[in-house]
Amino acid sequence: MAAARKRLQELFEKYDTSGDGVMSEDEMTILLSRVLGIPEGRAQDWFQQADGNRDGVVHTHEFIQWLTTNPPMWKEHVAVADGKKTVEVNFVNTSGAVGQVFTLQFVNCENVSFPKGNPAEVVVQPGETKSMTLLHLTEPYKYRLQVSYRSDASGIEDDPNAFKDASFLHDNSSIVDPNRTLNLGNTEFWMRARMLGDPGSAVLFDRVRPYEVQQGSVGDCWLMCALGSLAAHPNKLKSLFDGRHLSHDGKYKVWLYDLFEKKWCQVEVDEFLPCTVTDGRPCPTFARPLGNELWVMLLEKALAKFCGSYGALNSGYPGWAFQVLTGKSDLIFFLNEGKHWRKCAVKKPDSKEDARNPRSMRMVYCGWGSRYNTEDLFKFLKTHIEDKHVLACSIDRKDLGVEARLKNGLVVHHAYALLQVTSEKMDNGQPLRLVQLANPWGSGEWKGDWADYNIFNKGLASGKWAENPELSKRIGVVRRDEGSFWMSYEDWEANFTKVTLCPVGGKPVPPGEASDEHVDSGEPTGFFSSLFGW
C-alpha cells in the first residue's frame, strides 16, 4: 500500500506542471486523458469528484483518497411506527482502518423535532453500519438534510517497528531546556505524526502555503514566521528533505545549515511527536498541522534536535531561522528610528554554541548611506519580494511585555511573515500601497483599514474592501481569520519597528557533490556584499 501511495504521489507531481502543490482542472484534464483515457468532455465530472473540499483545486491527499478509497455512505428514509413518522439515516463506513464522524445539519425545517439535536454528530467505526432516528415529523412538514464527514483516527499505532531515534528520546529530556524554566504545555505521550488524523490522507507535503503554518505551545513564532515566509517558495522548503513523500519506516533526514562550520549538515529525526489530548483527540503539543501534511512538524522537530530540545526553541530571531534553513548568512535588517529606517547587518557567531542558539544573533550598523526614508524603504522591500527573497517583521516596544496585544489586533515582540508589498489602485483610481502579513499563531489579525476579517463586524471584511470590490477580487482577499491579512503600507510603517530580509539560498546538496545552486562561502558576495559595505 505504501508503495502504491508513493507512485500515486509521483504521478500527481508529474502532472502538477505549475509546481504549486495542487492540481487545477486543466492539469487534471491532461492527466485523465493521458493516463486513464478519459475524454475531455467527462473530465470536469471526474475533477469535481476528486475535489473533496470544493475549493476548486485537487490537493495531493484528495487525489490519493479519490483513487484508493471508497467514501463513506449514508441514506435517509421516512419510517412510520405507531402512526408516527420519523426520519432515519443509515450510515456505512467503507474504511477498514479509520472511524468516520458524520455531521448532519437540518435546514429549512417546519413541523419537525430533533431527538439527537441539530446539528447531530454520529461516529461510525471502521467497517460498521449504523442506523439512527434523527427527526420526528408532524404533517405538513419539510426539511433539507446537509451531511459532511471527517475521519476519527483512533490513535492506535500503525507500526510497532517504526523508526525511533535513540539520540532524541521520547521523554522530557527532548522537551525541556535545562537552562530555563518554561511553560511548554502538557505532553502526555509521543505519537506518530501520520496517526494524528486519517493515516490514509497523511502526506509529507500537500499544498505548501504561508497560512498553513501554526505555532504550538513553545515560543517559536520566529521559526513559524520564517517557515511561513519560505512557504511562498515550496521547492526551497521541499529541498530540505531527502525525499518528498512519507518515509516507509518513519525516518527522515533534514538538511540544516551550520553557521559555525559554514556547511550543510543532515539531522535525522523520527516521526514521533509530543502530544496531549484535546477534546478527546490526540493533538501535537508544539507545531500543529492545518491539514494532512507533516512537513512543518518534522522541520520543527529537526530544529529542536539541532538546538538540543524543543525548549531551546523558545524565543529567537526569524533571521537565525532564515540562515539555518537557506544557508545564507548575509542578512539585512532595518530598524525604524522614527524619521528614517537604519540598515544593519548581522554579526557572525563567535562559537559553535552561539551558532546553534536562535537567541544569539547580534546586529551591527552598516556604514555610509545606511538610512532609508519611507519611500526608499517601500521600493526596496517591493523589489526584493518580487525577486523572491523572504522577509519578516516585528514590533519592538520597551513599554510592553512579550506578546502583548495592541487594540488594533497586532502583537508586540512577535514575528510576522511579510508576504507581499505592492502598489495598487483603488476602484476610483486613487493610488494605494499595501502589505500582506501572516501571523504564525494562525489567528489574530490587524483590525484597522484593509483588514480582511473583523470579529467585531460578524466576520465581514473592512469597509475599505466593500468599497473596492474590484481591488478585492484582483488581489484575492480571503475573508476569514486564518492569520494572513492586509494593511496599508502607511499603517504598517506606523506600527512595525524591525524588518529582516534574507536572500533565499540554493538547494542543499550532499558534501562532495558540486552544484552551482549551492555556493556559500560564509561571506556576502555580489549585490548583497555591496549593501553591507564589507
CA geometry: angle at 529 spanning 527 and 534, to 5°?
155
Summarize the confidence of residues 499-527 as an average pLDDT.
Answer: 45
Q: What secondary structure letter does DSSP report for 363? A: E
Summarize the confidence of residues 472-492 as an average pLDDT.
Answer: 82
Flag whether pLDDT at 505 surpasses 50: no
Give tens-digit pLDDT for 388-414: 889 999 998 888 777 788 988 898 988
Domains of the chain plus CATH, in order, are 2-68 (1.10.238.10), 73-152 (2.60.40.10), 172-314 (no CATH), 332-502 (3.90.70.10)
Flag whether pLDDT at 335 surpasses 50: yes
Summarize the confidence of residues 303-310 as an average pLDDT.
Answer: 96
Q: What mean pLDDT, rounded, does the chain reach? A: 81
In this prediction, residue 421 carries a pLDDT of: 96
| Cα–Cα distance measured from residue 438 to residue 82, given in angstroms and rounded to the nearest whole number | 59
Classified as helix, coil or strand, 488 is: strand
Flag whether pLDDT at 150 surpasses 70: no
Q: What secondary structure letter does DSSP report for 466? A: H
Give tens-digit pLDDT for 162-204: 999 999 999 999 999 988 888 888 888 899 998 887 777 788 9
Name the grid cell of 472: 478585492
pTM of the model: 0.68
Q: Higher confidence at residue 136 or residue 289?
A: 136
Distances (CA, A) of 488 to 426, 434, 468, 503: 12, 4, 14, 25
In this prediction, residue 476 carries a pLDDT of: 80
Flag whether pLDDT at 330 surpasses 90: no
Flag whether pLDDT at 356 surpasses 90: no
| Cα–Cα distance measured from residue 44 to residue 28, given in angstroms and rounded to the nearest whole number | 9
Helix (H) or strand (E) holding 101: strand 99-113
| pLDDT confidence bin for 527, thresholds 50/70/90 | very low
- Ramachandran sector of residue 369 (left: φ over 0; alpha: ψ -120 to 50; beta: rest): left
Share of the chain above pLDDT 70, in %: 83
Flag whether pLDDT at 433 surpasses 60: yes
Please report how the helices 40-50 and 60-68 are oriented relative to each other, as an axis angle in degrees rounded to 10. 100
Q: Looking at the chain, how many residues does it have?
A: 534
Distances (CA, A) of 180 to 174, 309, 311, 401: 14, 12, 8, 18
Which amino acid, residue 252?
Y
Return the closest-CA partner of residue 168 out of 245, 254, 262. Answer: 254
Name the grid cell of 193: 505524526
Pairing of the two strands 189-192 and 213-214: unpaired
| Cα–Cα distance measured from residue 321 to residue 294, given in angstroms and rounded to the nearest whole number | 19
| Cα–Cα distance measured from residue 488 to residue 491, given in angstroms and rounded to the nearest whole number | 5
Distances (CA, A) of 447 to 101, 426, 481: 35, 19, 11
Under a CB-based contact definition with an 8 Å cutoff, are residues 472 and 482 in contact? no
Flag whether pLDDT at 461 surpasses 80: no
| pLDDT confidence bin for 367, thresholds 50/70/90 | low
| Cα–Cα distance measured from residue 76 to residue 132, given in angstroms and rounded to the nearest whole number | 10
Under a CB-based contact definition with an 8 Å cutoff, are residues 265 and 255 in contact? yes
Name the grid cell of 117: 439535536
**3-state DSSP percent of the chain in helix, strand and coil, to 5:** 25, 30, 45
Return the closest-CA partner of residue 116 out of 127, 99, 132. Answer: 132
The residues annotated as belonging to the active site are 221, 414, 439
Return the closest-CA partner of residue 393 out of 418, 360, 421. Answer: 418
| pLDDT confidence bin for 532, thresholds 50/70/90 | very low
Beta carbons within 10 angstroms of residue 91's beta carbon: 21
In this prediction, residue 379 carries a pLDDT of: 95
Flag whether pLDDT at 152 surpasses 70: no
**CB-based contacts of 505, cutoff 8 Å, min separation 6:** 236, 257, 326, 327, 328, 518, 520
Give tens-digit pLDDT for 253-263: 999 999 989 99
Return the closest-CA partner of residue 198 out of 96, 269, 342. Answer: 96
Share of the chain above pLDDT 90, in %: 34
Q: State how far Cα 80 lies from the chain centre.
A: 49
Give tens-digit pLDDT for 222-277: 999 999 899 888 888 999 999 888 998 999 999 999 998 999 999 999 999 999 87
Q: Which residues of 33-57 are buried (b: 16+ CB within 10 A; e: fewer)?
A: eeeeebeeeebeebbeebbbeeeeb
Greatest mean pLDDT among 33-37, 310-314, 478-482, 518-522 lies in 310-314
| Cα–Cα distance measured from residue 305 to residue 312, given in angstroms and rounded to the nearest whole number | 9
| Cα–Cα distance measured from residue 36 to residue 356, given in angstroms and rounded to the nearest whole number | 50
Cis omega (within 30 of 0) on the bond before 140? Answer: yes
* Phi then psi dihedrals of residue 252, to 5 deg: -130, 140
Beta bridge partners, 112, equal 137
